[in-house]
Structure 1
Amino acid sequence: MLNNFPQVWQERWQADGFDQATPIQEALWQPIQNGESLLGISPTGTGKTLAYLLPLLLKVRKGQGQQVLILAPNSELAGQIYEVTQAWAQDLGLKTQLFLSGSSQKRQMERLKKGPEVLIGTPGRVLELVKLKKIKLLSIDTIVLDEFDQLLSTSQLPFVERLLTYVPKTHTHIYMSATQGIPMDQLQEGTRLIALGQEEKSSHLQHFYMQVPQREKVATLRKLLAVDDFRALAFFNALSDVGNAEEKLQYHHLPAYSLASDINVQMRKQILDRFKDGSISLLLATDLVARGIDIQGLDCVIQVDLARDKDTYTHRAGRTGRMGRPGSVITFVSHPQELKQLKKYAKVSEIQLKNRELFLVEED
């Protein structure tokens, strides 16, 4: 794979601190170069974006208009894909454009006049521009559905289904996620499955639980924020609980903010940027808005509420320990039944918080 890089990419690869290609990057390279439709499944944090992006970009014809469309389930993931794509595409003289709901449609339409070859966005906004005949799906060679299982199983589904009615069946589809979730027969006919199992997820990710009564969950978050150099992404199952926790933590003047779905794109970006630079220590979110977020060096994920299923746990855990770095997942457990369920998701050890430090509880 790396031998096929142009010189400018080899320099960027080294400058970005990459050593060697990951298994999913190696596995997808030739099939995408060959123009195959495929479903790529690999644990979170294994470089899936570059796995499909790099072979696709080498196939794009410079100056020949819209050729690749990448769809993501939320603004954060779309924005991250855009930043990565823009860096690698500009080395080849290619243009990339981002389409998000909540941003100026008029400005996006103006930028389309510059003839970007690669389009990235959320399904709702892309569909609006397709209806206005500003995005021409008949000219698109490849459509990528990043986090496809979420795109095809949530409120995004009607938009995705409508978009796909504009696309001839001969076009290449690439579906990517950490978990499959959706049966193969619901994907484009002839799609090839390339799945790297969860066993590749390795020992660098540690799984813990804390015994926390339901009424003390927010108080425990407050205590964790007193731990030195603590920074975490905390998951809740209900949006109302996110808002409640944010209000209580901010009342105590603590650096905790929510990534709620009802704030505008610019505000969400500011919160994410502040979290990434360490100005915010605790980011509160639900699965819907946090899927696909890539925060380099994130040490810890907290499950304030236990994930409803193993796939959800996998995606939550994948926000830390990315690209082989160490990471921890801490789950608050309020009832014995929750612990029993958690043990079906991962091998966990108990920890306790005492005097602003976390201690491993010795097993009997």
Structure 2
Amino acid sequence: MNNQEFVPFLKKNWEDAGFTKPALIQSEVYTPIMEGENLVGIAPTGSGKTLAYLLPLINKLEAGMASQILVLTSSQELAMQVVEVARKWLAGSGMKVQALIGGANVKRQQEALKKKPELLIGTPGRVLELITAKKIKASTIRTLVFDEVDQLIQGQSLQLIQKILKASDNEAQHLYFSATADVVLEELHRFEAELLVVDVSKEDDSQGDVQHFYLETSDRKKVEQLRRLLNLPAFWGMIFFNQLSDMGSAEEKLRFHHLPIVGLASDQSKMLRKNAIEQFKKHQALGLLTTDLASRGLDIEKLPFVINVDVPLSEESYLHRAGRVGRMGETGTVISFVTPQEKSDLTKIAKKLDLKLAPIYLFGGELLTEEPVKQSEPKKKKSKKNKGKRRK
């Protein structure tokens, strides 16, 4: 991949962004995408996968021709983030990108589609709704991108994807991307007989220095540990729970202590979720409480901490949560709260992911990597018994 191959507006945007060379995944997939190949792109979280597919596809776009590219994402948050990136790189082209996500006004989206945007980015449910209503001409889609594909081909989402594929042109190019797409390669080969697999996860060195720790505690004390973390001067982090109910309970208790936190949950409206992310990005909130909803795609620049209040339920979940830090060479810290019973579960995950795991301690308003020496209480002096004779 060479920026000299870019069309003029894209070359200017590359130079304005101050880029000198592409990330590994970007250089490896550029030519096959330009040549129309179907492929699976696998690279670590935060290694530049979004631009890996957007740059060659934008370079091939034709102005005035509607719905050439459709990017499907696993969440509304990821869709809006990809829209932001696409707008930045389309600057100066006169071409348009349109978000198509659930929770937003469908009539406004239908009106926007009349302006013939060249690039569409959305969630499967809303996209299928617009295809069924004939507001999107699926036959004009030249390339379909599946971002966080391992999430997209699970449960109800899989049925939506199959219907979208059935409605689109059989000759359309299909691109599948995720940090953990390797776990669904067998399923992907059912969609595509011939797929080029580009896996740079072992060679990619864009991951920054991320340290992984565990903090031993009890279930009852987990919220108290969070309260202490949020009072540390340098703390700013994403805080993950396995269950929405546990997250809600913790949020309520932390708000009682007037701590600067926001929650990001699947049962919130689009506006509430957007506001939560904005407040967190602007450091108006020091803690973003969420579930695995926010473990994929959400790019918070220079985020220093990820906290797992609950041990993730799988290696994939741990990998995506931890991937919120250490993006594009930055440093970061991942701390998992563990009860004595949960410690073995975390150790198994770390072993499978080949992570160095060390204990960490919260003591005296600081995070310590060595167990603090607790001062023993001074011994009470024994009272001397009166050895004199008792007077009668």
TM over 0.5, shorter chain: yes
Q: Shorter chain as normaliser: what TM range?
A: over 0.9
Counterpart among 294, 306, 313 of residue 311 in structure 2: 306
Q: TM-score, structure 1 length as denominator?
A: 0.95
Counterpart among 280, 283, 295 of residue 285 in structure 2: 280
Question: Which segments of 5 or more consecutive residues in structure 1 lack a partner in the other structure?
Answer: none
Shift in CA distance, 324/140, structure 1 to aligned 2, threshold 3 Å: same
Question: How far is 1:339 from its partner?
Answer: 4.2
Shift in CA distance, 150/59, structure 1 to aligned 2, threshold 3 Å: same
Cα distance in 1 for partners of 2:148, 2:224 equals 33
**Aligned residue for 2:55?**
54
**Aligned residue for 2:368?**
359
Shift in CA distance, 332/14, structure 1 to aligned 2, threshold 3 Å: farther
Counterpart among 349, 357, 366 of residue 348 in structure 1: 357
Whichever residue aligns with residue 140 of structure 1, its letter is I
Cα distance in 2 for partners of 1:18, 1:274 equals 28
Cα distance in 2 for partners of 1:106, 1:187 equals 32
Which structure has the greater CA radius of gyration?
A: 2
Question: How far is 1:229 from its partner?
Answer: 2.6
Preserved CA contact (<8 Å) 2:265 2:293: no
**Aligned residue for 1:333?**
338
Are positions 1:65 and 2:70 aligned together? no
Question: How far is 1:61 from its partner?
Answer: 1.0
Cα distance in 2 for partners of 1:253, 1:81 equals 34
Cα distance in 2 for partners of 1:212, 1:198 equals 34
Preserved CA contact (<8 Å) 1:261 1:289: no
Whichever residue aligns with residue 21 of structure 2, its letter is Q
3-state SS of 1:156 partner: helix
**Superposition map of 1:256-271 within 5 A:** 256-271=261-276
Preserved CA contact (<8 Å) 2:311 2:337: yes
**Aligned residue for 2:195?**
191
Residues 213-266 of structure 1: per-residue CA shift (max 9 Å, x gap): 111111111100011131111111111111111111111111112111011111
**Aligned residue for 1:24?**
25
Shift in CA distance, 302/190, structure 1 to aligned 2, threshold 3 Å: same
Question: How far is 1:341 from its partner?
Answer: 2.1
Preserved CA contact (<8 Å) 1:82 1:98: yes
Preserved CA contact (<8 Å) 1:57 1:89: yes
**Aligned residue for 2:301?**
296
Cα distance in 2 for partners of 1:92, 1:101 equals 28
Give the length in aligned residue pairs: 363
Preserved CA contact (<8 Å) 2:189 2:195: no
Whichever residue aligns with residue 257 of structure 2, its letter is H
Whichever residue aligns with residue 15 of structure 1, its letter is D
Whichever residue aligns with residue 57 of structure 1, its letter is I
Are positions 1:322 and 2:327 aligned together? yes
Shift in CA distance, 156/289, structure 1 to aligned 2, threshold 3 Å: farther
Shift in CA distance, 304/86, structure 1 to aligned 2, threshold 3 Å: same
Cα distance in 1 for partners of 2:114, 2:371 equals 63
3-state SS of 2:215 partner: strand
Whichever residue aligns with residue 43 of structure 1, its letter is P
Preserved CA contact (<8 Å) 1:349 1:361: no
Are positions 1:122 and 2:96 aligned together? no
Are positions 1:239 and 2:251 aligned together? no
Preserved CA contact (<8 Å) 1:246 1:284: yes
3-state SS of 2:214 partner: strand
Residues 277-314 of structure 1: per-residue CA shift (max 9 Å, x gap): 10011111111343211111111111111112212111
Two-structure CA RMSD over aligned residues (Å): 1.7
Residues 92-113 of structure 1: per-residue CA shift (max 9 Å, x gap): 2211100111111111111111
Shift in CA distance, 266/211, structure 1 to aligned 2, threshold 3 Å: same
Cα distance in 2 for partners of 1:247, 1:158 equals 37
Q: TM-score, structure 2 length as denominator?
A: 0.89
Cα distance in 1 for partners of 2:278, 2:140 equals 35
Question: How far is 1:199 from its partner?
Answer: 5.6
Cα distance in 2 for partners of 1:70, 1:189 equals 21
Residues 178-201 of structure 1: per-residue CA shift (max 9 Å, x gap): 012212423322121101124635
Residues 33-63 of structure 1: per-residue CA shift (max 9 Å, x gap): 0000100000000010000000001111111
Are positions 1:176 and 2:185 aligned together? no
Quick one: percent identity of the two aligned structures? Answer: 43
